[in-house]
Structure 1
Amino acid sequence: MTGPNTADRTRELGIDFGPLARELEEHQYPTTSDELVEAHGSAVLELPGGEETLRELFELLPDEDFESAAEARAAIFNTVSERAIGRKGYSDRTPPALGERQEWPNESF
C-alpha cells in the first residue's frame, strides 16, 4: 500500500495510526520490530475499545523482520488485542437468500 496518499491515511481497518502512519512510511527498511520500537515505541494506536502503543504490540514480536511499511502494518493488524474488534458478534451480512431458511422471523430490512 504505497503511494502518495498512504502516509495521509491514518485510519485503516478500525485502527487509527495517527502520526505513526507517516512515521512507518518514512522509516528506513528493511528493519526489525526492535528498531521500530526504539524509534516509535511510544506511538499510540487508537482502537474502537481503547488504545495500545507500538511497544506493547511489538513485545509479542521480538526480532521480527520487516521489508516494508506494509509488512509492519500487517504485523500491527495481526497483533492488536480484542480492543480492536469494536462491536463483538456484529455482522453486516445480508439475510440468507430465498430458500436457505425454512421460516422467516418477523424481521424488517
Structure 2
Amino acid sequence: MTDENEDSREQGVEFGSLADELEDEEYPIDKAALLERYGDRELELEGNTTTLRTVLESQGETTYESADDVRRSVIGMVSDEAIGRQNYSDRGGSTESEEGTEESV
C-alpha cells in the first residue's frame, strides 16, 4: 500500500489529493474553469498553506493542456514561498568554517 501523498510533493509544493484530481481532469481547461472547480483547494508550502486560487489568480488568462501544465504553473508562481529557508541547503557542501580552511590547488 502506498501513501496517497507519496508522489504529490513537487519542488516544495504539496498538492495532496489535488494531484490525482488534476490527473483525472479533462484538458484543455482554461484558468477560470480550473479555479471554479479547484480554486479553494489548499496547497502546502514549506511551513505554510495557500489556495490554488491565491497562487494562480495573478497569472494572466491561460489554458492548461495537462495536469503537468497546471503543476508547472503553480510551481513557477509560488517561487520562494515553497523552498523554506532561503540561501540554505541541506545537501552538503562546505560550511563557513570549512571555507576558511580550504587551500587552492
TM-score band w.r.t. shorter chain: 0.7 to 0.9
What residue ranges of structure 1 are gaps of 5+ in the alignment?
1-6, 96-100
The corresponding residue for 2:80 is: 82
Deviations 1:25-44 (A, max 9, x none): 11110111111101101110
Rate the CA distance shift 1:88–1:62 in 2: closer, same or farther, 3 A: same
Structure with more helix by fraction: 2
Report the residue type matching 1:54 in the other structure: L
Q: Report how many aligned residue pairs link the two structures.
A: 93
The corresponding residue for 1:28 is: 26
Aligned-residue identity in percent: 38
Asked whether the equivalents of residues 80 and 86 of structure 2 are also in contact (C-alpha less than 8 Å), the reply is: no
The corresponding residue for 1:98 is: none
The 3-state SS of whatever aligns with 1:86 is coil
TM value normalised by structure 2: 0.77
- Return the match for 2:64 from 43, 63, 66: 66
Cα distance, 1:81 vs. partner? 5.0
TM value normalised by structure 1: 0.74
- Return the match for 1:42 from 40, 43, 54: 40
The corresponding residue for 1:17 is: 15
Report the residue type matching 2:69 in the other structure: E
The corresponding residue for 2:101 is: 104
Q: Distance in 2 between matches of 1:81 and 1:67?
A: 21
Aligned Cα RMSD in Å?
Answer: 2.1
**Runs of 4+ that moved beyond 3 A:** none
Asked whether the equivalents of residues 49 and 85 of structure 1 are also in contact (C-alpha less than 8 Å), the reply is: no
The corresponding residue for 2:49 is: 51
Rate the CA distance shift 1:89–1:8 in 2: closer, same or farther, 3 A: closer
The corresponding residue for 2:93 is: 94
Deviations 1:68-87 (A, max 9, x none): 11111000000115321212
Report the residue type matching 1:87 in the other structure: R
Cα distance, 1:8 vs. partner? 6.4
